[in-house]
């Protein structure tokens, strides 16, 4: 596994303060403006391939060798070839060139995700976007009285529960002014003719049980809108979503929704963005009124008051007349915006420090540069439910979020060694096709595969290659998704999102046209935390396994296995709700009612110190025997922040002591050993199997011998590596009226939780604690009882941590006893 290339999506924040976004854009390296194809050798410094950093991409500017990009928004370290030791030569790579047509098309294209804490109003907001852009005829509310439900929550269960379970994609057209980077003078900021923008939108679920949906959406999108509630502000899942956005370096806008709610205070939320999320953020709008008085917003960049009028706010009325009541606030917030933005943008900073006049256009252009370079988050305000402030947010998306050609994506060339530098992808139509299947869904017409096309063109009827399996498939049908409806199309261009029918593949597969050996990185997949046994009521039906297979294929956080001891089918997932939804879907979609066991925590085992192994598997039974010898080290491994993987196999055998053909069998043996730990029988995480040496026998060695040798070696090394049992620990956030604070804290203490933070706001308090999941069963009814039903809580997986030594002892003994009883 470790031999697989680790690829990280590269977006390129300028990190040296002397490097402004302007220079990055000018340097727009993979898109040379001249007609000459750049073919600078790509060089990689070996030392740059350490965890968490990206290899050097030196071909970018045709000579600026040695720039190293960090995988997140973290600083990029300049490194010269001299300082990093020996450089390795790589084959020359000719990068495709974007045509004028490509540039024109992509300039008006946006791919955005909407992500946030549960119930912050993402789906309600998306419904407005669809209405104002003419995609839906009327607005229907999440859990609305008309019983229709929002367009994007199309699943029956979503509508019943009023929550989003699956992310849904749609697209729309929006007439907006050109982005500030294309505007020549201040007058052009208001006077420019509007142009049509094509926007792909993915509405994601907020509930943490469905976090994989957010993960894969952010993996393929170019920008995002982070929605917040004007009263609750930054909540636990806001922090999670923020982390996910940083993981994939996604530029974002923040939208403070629910300005109509009592207690709305957007500027407190802006402060929370700065303090809790360490975000450089500032409001670009000031609300006119608040709560039931909320009437509109002032755009403090262009200094316009903006109101919604007409049916369901479908008309925007702009005025130069800033209401008296907010004039001082507008001045104050504009000064604050300039100050924060100057920290993120050198051009504006120079004007600011030199006390030069700063125009609206200067601010708007700096906003675009700083947002795209991940150094700043502009904050918008509004109320989705009251149809206020949505169109200005859409203008914000087109003005400040990047087009697909302003985002650097890259692939790995599987034809080169694992440490070779990644290859920049160019969203040119003429380039060889590279696309990523990021989501699968079983539909009425077979498997629906969501694809992001990174370069080239995907055409209906064309043959495409799956980079993982090497299989060639035909694309029988190509569609654009509009929630659960679809529109057939003949082709999809680079930088766009679509779905294909009838193409067999797995989530995360790369497709090409067969002329390249490119492959995209996989996405981060969190570990399941909870499991339960499941069996069909009555007789076993083929639908039972059919449903489980399908769910497993669609959702990498949903796992199914048969317990070899009890022979029970066990399903595992991200939380009780996650598993409940699948059990319910089995009944509704497959007509299989199921009986489930009690939810159990997904324990794991791991090692804490490295240990050596030197194991020989030998068997002589008449004719040819079995012989395999493996030597090496089993060592603890940290989780890879990009993929979530924390087990790996590394082959360091040199000199052919173990013939190459047996190496995969050894890896297989290692993988098999991970299934069941020796302490409690739970799966093993967090270890790396380093194969250093070994021996083979001319006649007696075969794959089986080496697989068994690896299993034996693992068993030997694991016992010596101070193994421990791990349990999932959750971050729990409780919000309840202040009078219940004592009881809530008491109950958390009783459950052996660690309180991290408490915050009091008006007559409510928020408590954040870390509690072992095993100690959280029954908490929702306890909280309900304790707070007269007024308390709410959410929890999400934080980490797997060792259980207390006495618990480990009990668990180990119980397991040993069970084993003995069985034998
Ligand atoms: N007061 C107020 N309520 C709102 C607003 N926007 C949404 N809501 C309500 O908030 C609730 C949740 O809205 P959704 O749009 O489903 O929220 P969501 O973020 O999509 O929720 P999940 O997808 O389940 O995470 C619904 O009852 C909405 O009516 C708003 O601007 N003001
Ligand atoms: Mg929703």
795 φ/ψ angles, rounded to the nearest 5 degrees:
-140, 150
Q: Which of 142, 160, 237, 578 to mutate to test the pocket of ligand 1 (most atoms within 8 A of CB)?
A: 142
Note the pLDDT tens digit of each residue in 210-249: 999 999 999 999 999 999 999 999 988 898 899 899 989 9
Residue 82's pLDDT is 39
Does residue 559 surpass a pLDDT of 70? Answer: yes
- The 10 Å Cβ neighbour count of residue 79 is 17
User: 120 CB under 6 A from ligand 1?
Assistant: yes
pTM over 0.75: yes
Report residue 85's pLDDT band, with 50, 70 and 90 as the boundaries.
Answer: very low
In this structure, are residues 425 and 413 in contact, taking their beta carbons and an 8 Å threshold? no
Residue 87's pLDDT is 60
Note the pLDDT tens digit of each residue in 638-684: 988 777 889 999 999 988 899 999 999 999 999 999 988 999 999 99
User: 149 CB under 6 A from ligand 1?
Assistant: no
- What is the secondary structure of 82-95 as a DSSP string? TTT--EEEEEE-PP
Note the pLDDT tens digit of each residue in 787-804: 888 888 888 888 899 999
User: 241 CB under 6 A from ligand 1?
Assistant: no
Nearest to 217 by CA among 188, 250, 239: 250
Note the pLDDT tens digit of each residue in 139-179: 998 888 788 889 899 888 998 889 999 999 899 999 999 99
In this structure, are residues 367 and 281 in contact, taking their beta carbons and an 8 Å threshold? no
Indicate left, alpha or beta for 502 from its phi (over 0: left) and psi (-120 to 50: alpha).
Answer: left
765 φ/ψ angles, rounded to the nearest 5 degrees:
-130, 155
98 φ/ψ angles, rounded to the nearest 5 degrees:
-80, 135
C-alpha 237 – ligand 2 centre gap (Å) = 13
Q: Mind listing the domains of the chain with CATH numbers?
A: 109-402 (3.40.50.300), 530-597 (3.30.70.870), 605-714 (3.30.230.10), 725-807 (3.30.70.240)
664 φ/ψ angles, rounded to the nearest 5 degrees:
-60, -35
User: 384 CB under 6 A from ligand 1?
Assistant: yes
In this structure, are residues 582 and 571 in contact, taking their beta carbons and an 8 Å threshold? yes
**Angle, CA 125 vertex, CA 297 and CA 406 arms, to 5°:** 85
Mean pLDDT of 475-493: 90
Residue 579's pLDDT is 95
Burial (CB count within 10 angstroms: exposed 0-12, middle 13-18, buried 19+), residue 196: exposed
Does residue 556 surpass a pLDDT of 60? Answer: yes
In this structure, are residues 204 and 214 in contact, taking their beta carbons and an 8 Å threshold? yes
What whole-number distance in Å separates Cα of residue 284 and Cα of residue 235? 22
Does residue 50 surpass a pLDDT of 60? Answer: no
Determine the atom of ligand 1 nearest the C-alpha atom of 384: 31
Residue 35's pLDDT is 27
Does residue 764 surpass a pLDDT of 90? Answer: no
C-alpha 585 – ligand 1 centre gap (Å) = 24
- The 10 Å Cβ neighbour count of residue 123 is 27
Question: Regarding predicted confidence, which is higher, 4 or 584?
Answer: 584
Mean pLDDT of 255-267: 97
């Amino acid at each position: 596994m470790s031999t697989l290339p680790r690829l990280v999506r590269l977006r390129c924040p300028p990190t040296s303060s002397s490097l402004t976004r302007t220079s990055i854009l000018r340097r727009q390296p993979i898109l040379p403006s001249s007609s000459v194809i750049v073919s600078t050798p790509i060089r990689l410094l070996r030392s740059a391939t350490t965890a968490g950093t990206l290899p050097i991409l030196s071909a970018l500017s045709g000579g600026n060798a040695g720039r190293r990009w960090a995988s997140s928004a973290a600083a990029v370290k300049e490194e010269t070839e001299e300082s990093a030791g020996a450089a390795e030569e790589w084959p020359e790579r000719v990068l495709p060139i974007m045509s004028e047509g490509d540039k024109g098309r992509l300039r008006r294209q946006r791919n955005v995700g909407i992500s946030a804490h549960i119930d912050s109003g993402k789906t309600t907001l998306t419904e407005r976007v669809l209405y104002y852009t003419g995609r839906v005829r009327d607005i229907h509310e999440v859990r609305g009285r008309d019983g229709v439900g929002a367009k994007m929550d199309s699943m029956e269960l979503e509508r019943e529960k009023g929550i989003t379970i699956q992310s849904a994609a749609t697209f729309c057209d929006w007439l907006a002014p050109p982005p500030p980077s294309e505007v020549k003078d201040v007058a052009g900021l208001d006077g420019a003719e509007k142009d049509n923008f094509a926007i792909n939108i993915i509405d994601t679920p907020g509930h943490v049980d469905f976090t994989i949906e957010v993960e894969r959406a952010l993996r393929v999108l170019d920008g995002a809108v982070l929605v917040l509630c004007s009263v609750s502000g930054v909540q636990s899942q806001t922090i999670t979503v923020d982390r996910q956005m940083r993981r994939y370096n996604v530029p974002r806008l923040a939208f403070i929704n629910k300005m109509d709610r009592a207690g709305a205070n957007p500027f407190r939320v802006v402060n929370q963005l700065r303090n809790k999320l360490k975000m450089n953020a500032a409001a670009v709008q000031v609300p006119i009124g608040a709560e039931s008085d909320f009437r509109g917003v002032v755009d403090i960049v262009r200094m316009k008051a903006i109101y919604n009028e007409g049916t369901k706010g479908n008309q925007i009325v702009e005025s130069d007349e800033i209401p008296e009541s907010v004039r001082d606030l507008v001045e104050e917030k504009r000064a604050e915006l300039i100050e924060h933005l100057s920290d993120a943008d050198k051009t504006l900073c120079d004007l600011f420090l030199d006390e030069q006049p700063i125009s609206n256009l200067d601010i708007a252009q700096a906003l675009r540069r700083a947002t795209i370079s991940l150094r700043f988050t502009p904050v918008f305000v509004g109320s989705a439910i009251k149809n206020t402030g949505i169109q200005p947010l859409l203008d914000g998306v087109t003005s400040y979020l990047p087009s697909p050609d302003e985002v650097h994506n890259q692939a790995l060339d599987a034809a080169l060694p694992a440490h070779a530098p990644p290859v920049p992808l160019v969203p040119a139509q003429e380039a060889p096709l590279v696309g990523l299947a990021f989501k699968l869904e079983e539909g009425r017409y077979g498997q629906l595969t969501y694809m992001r096309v990174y370069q080239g063109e995907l055409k209906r009827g064309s043959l495409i290659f799956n980079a993982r399996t090497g299989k060639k498939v035909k694309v029988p049908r190509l569609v654009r998704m509009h929630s659960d409806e679809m529109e057939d199309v003949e082709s999809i261009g680079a930088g766009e999102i679509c779905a294909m029918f009838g193409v067999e593949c797995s989530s995360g597969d790369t497709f090409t046209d067969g002329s390249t050996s490119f492959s995209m990185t996989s996405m981060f997949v969190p570990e399941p935390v909870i499991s339960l046994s499941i069996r069909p009521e009555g007789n076993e039906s083929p639908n039972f396994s059919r449903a489980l297979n399908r769910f497993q294929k669609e959702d990498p956080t949903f796992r199914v296995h048969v317990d070899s001891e009890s022979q029970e089918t066990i399903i595992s997932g991200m939380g009780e709700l996650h598993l409940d939804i699948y059990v319910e879907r089995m009944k509704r979609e497959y007509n299989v009612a199921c009986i489930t066991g009690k939810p159990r925590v997904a324990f794991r085992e791991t090692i804490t110190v490295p240990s050596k192994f030197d194991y020989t598997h030998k068997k002589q039974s008449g004719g040819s025997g079995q012989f395999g010898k493996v030597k090496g080290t089993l060592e603890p491994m940290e989780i890879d922040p990009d993929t979530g993987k924390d087990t790996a196999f590394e082959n360091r055998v040199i000199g052919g002591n173990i013939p190459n053909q047996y190496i995969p069998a050894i890896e297989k043996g290692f993988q098999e050993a991970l299934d069941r730990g020796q302490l409690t029988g739970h799966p093993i995480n967090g270890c790396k199997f380093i194969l250093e040496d070994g021996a083979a026998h001319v006649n007696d060695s075969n794959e089986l011998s080496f697989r068994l040798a690896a299993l034996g070696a693992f068993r030997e090394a694991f016992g010596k590596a101070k193994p421990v049992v791990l349990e999932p620990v959750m971050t729990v956030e409780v919000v309840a009226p202040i009078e219940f604070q004592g009881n809530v804290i008491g109950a958390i203490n009783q459950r052996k939780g660690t309180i991290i933070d408490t915050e009091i706001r008006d007559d409510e308090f928020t408590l954040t604690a870390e509690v072992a999941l095993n100690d959280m069963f029954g908490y929702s009814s306890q909280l309900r009882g304790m707070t007269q039903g007024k308390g709410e809580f959410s929890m999400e997986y934080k980490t797997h941590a060792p259980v207390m030594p006495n618990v480990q002892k009990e668990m180990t003994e119980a397991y040993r006893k069970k084993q003995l009883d069985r034998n």
